[in-house]
Amino acid sequence: MVATQPDPEDLTARARIRDAALQHFGEHGFERATIRGIADTAGVSPGLVRHHFGSKQGLREACDDYLVKMVRRFNDQVRTDTQYSDLTYVAASRAALKPYQRYLARALVEGAAASLFDEMVKMSEEWLTDIDAKRSEPPFVSRKVRATLGTAMALGVPLLYQHVSRGMGVDIFSPEGDRLLSRAMLDIYSHPLISPEEAAMLIDALDKAPDRATPAEREATPGRPEEHHDD
Amino acid sequence: MVATQPDPEDLTARARIRDAALQHFGEHGFERATIRGIADTAGVSPGLVRHHFGSKQGLREACDDYLVKMVRRFNDQVRTDTQYSDLTYVAASRAALKPYQRYLARALVEGAAASLFDEMVKMSEEWLTDIDAKRSEPPFVSRKVRATLGTAMALGVPLLYQHVSRGMGVDIFSPEGDRLLSRAMLDIYSHPLISPEEAAMLIDALDKAPDRATPAEREATPGRPEEHHDD
DNA sequence: CAATTGACTATACGCGCGTATAGTTTCATA
DNA sequence: TATGAAACTATACGCGCGTATAGTCAATTG
């Protein structure tokens, strides 16, 4: 009961523009989305967009800020509610973020929304703390590394939701899809792909032979492999 | 002899354009990338791009086809080599696809490159077949569903490589980063987050109360939650 | 040696975009 | 009612883009 949004009904024009931008950016991407289209969806003139947000980039930043605030609030809320396990958190955040999912996906892949990702990692770390307490062997790597990887992997599902839905034969955002997804996640998270012994063995091999070039590594080398500067 | 291409070596202008496009599309996104910029990187005139690929969209499709062909060849190669486990495959494909990773990420998130994703799922399914043989309890869901989810989760890491690198404190494409990543993956894949008993219990709860609305589900409902038409 | 064909360039057109600016309405306050 | 600011609209400009077209050059072929 954190009474957040005053009323979805009489939203101010500024908020309507922001929501329309979230939608358009998510559906068409930042470049392809047009101020005119966003203004049209929001029911205002294109000029008003500029009046409120200064520029297209400003509008984007406002969208990012809004989402970060929303995720942060969601996390705080869940954090105080101890009934959630890691699994149900994943499911809950999947549901909560659903409307913004496409926007989120694009932003994250483009390297933006960093604080949002980090927020999720911190969340994962907290749960890992509990899980690690019940664990016998010491982990191979630090908790933060595992939390980071776990977060990225969990995000892979909504990020690729079109492909996942196609592969599962059901829209993962529909009730049935969500149910199937939850079952599958429970199965995956409760059944290791390899045994700890095998893993330890492979780690040993890894430490002894750090130079493990695959046959493909030699073959797949195109024009400019080493350049990735950010936008 | 129809030898239009004097050499299969990737030195023809057409190949250079394709490589430049892979790079530009990956770095700037499809919309933002310009034919002029691609032509410049390839060292040709913008007109030649059109001459060879017809249009910008045609160029994109050529890039997709090329990548699919490359992944397929990689898979075939690995498939015949039985020394690979699921884990090392993930690592190997991570290395092989590295130069195309940014392009891949954008394409996949935009819903394109579907056959590529499906190819990977098929690969995962084959390995799951072996793993399932050693498993006592029956899986909660079909193998394909688990393979699909596993693929999406594995892809989440390179998709979010900037965030993952930041969280791990090391570039995951550097040798050290790759090593740390492999260790972490081995740990995650060998240590379940929850016990099978807990999972079974949660599934039970899931089946009995299919309507599990979270507090956030009620709160986070923006303008148009139910619309997601594809491009 | 023409003659044809394909690789490649130079140049320009038209359109849609972000942006700028001037003008109009709404509304709180005195 | 007067007034000033803020919300909002109408209109236009300029630029960069994809695309189209005409032309040049090099290699192949009879």
DSSP A100: G
Q: Using the structure block, give the residue that is written with the tokens 């693929």.
A: B151
Helical spans, DSSP H, in chain A: 13-28, 35-42, 46-53, 56-79, 86-97, 101-109, 114-133, 143-159, 161-168, 175-190, 196-208, 215-219
Query: Which of the residues B77, B80, B219 would you substitute to probe the A interface, choosing the one with the greatest number of A C-beta atoms within 10 Å?
Result: B219
Judge whether residue A20 contacts strand C, using its CB and a 7 Å cut-off. Answer: no
Residue from A160, A194, A200, A136 nearest B110 by CA: A160
Tell me what pLDDT residue A87 has: 62
Between B27, B88, B99, which is nearest A222 by CB? B99
* Neighbour tally for A114: CB within 10 Å: 16
How many residues make up chain B in this entry? 231
Please indicate whether residue A207 or residue B125 has the higher confidence score (pLDDT). B125
CB pairs below 8 Å between A and B: how many? Answer: 329
Q: Which of residues 6-35 of B touch strand D (CB under 7 A)?
A: 33-35
CA-to-C1' span, B132 to C1 (A): 74
**pLDDT-derived band of residue A177, with 50, 70 and 90 as boundaries?**
very high
Q: Residue A160: its pLDDT value, please?
A: 94
Using the Cβ of B220 and the Cβ atoms of chain A, whether some distance falls under 8 Å is answered with: yes
Residue A153 in contact with partner chain B when CB distance is under 8 A? yes
Amino acid letter, A87: L
What spatial distance separates the first Cα and last Cα of chain B, rounded to whole Å? 42
Is the pLDDT at B168 greater than 80? The verdict is yes
Write out pLDDT tens, residues A197-225: 889 888 888 777 655 444 444 433 343 33
**What is the per-residue pLDDT across B183-212, written as a single tens digit (0 to 9) for each?**
999 999 999 998 888 898 888 887 776 554
N residues, chain A: 231
Q: Which nucleotide minimizes the distance between its C1' and the CA of A14?
A: D7
What distance in Å separates the CA atoms of residue A53 and residue A41, rounded to the nearest whole number?
16
pLDDT value of position B225: 34
Cα distance between residue B19 and residue B16, in whole Å: 5
What confidence score (pLDDT) does residue B94 get?
Answer: 74
Is B63 in contact with B49 (CB distance < 8 Å)? no
Residue A36: CB less than 7 A from any atom in strand D? no
| CB contact residues (below 8 A), chain A span 193-212, against chain B | 193-196, 198-199, 202-203, 206, 210, 212
Say which range, A219-228, B81-90, B111-120, B126-135, has the weakest mean pLDDT: A219-228
Return positions of chain D under 7 A from a protein CB: 7-12, 16-22
| Nearest chain A residue (CA) to B229 | A27
What pLDDT score does A230 carry? 34
Nearest to B88, CA basis, from A206, A142, A151, A191: A206
If you measure CA to CA, which chain A residue comes closest to B90? A214
What are the helix (H) ranges across B134-214?
143-159, 161-168, 175-190, 196-208
Residues B68/B22, Cβ–Cβ less than 8 Å:
no
- Per-residue pLDDT tens digits for A19-52: 999 999 988 889 899 999 999 999 999 999 999 9
Q: What are the tens digits of pLDDT across the range A103-137?
A: 888 888 888 888 889 988 998 998 899 899 988 88
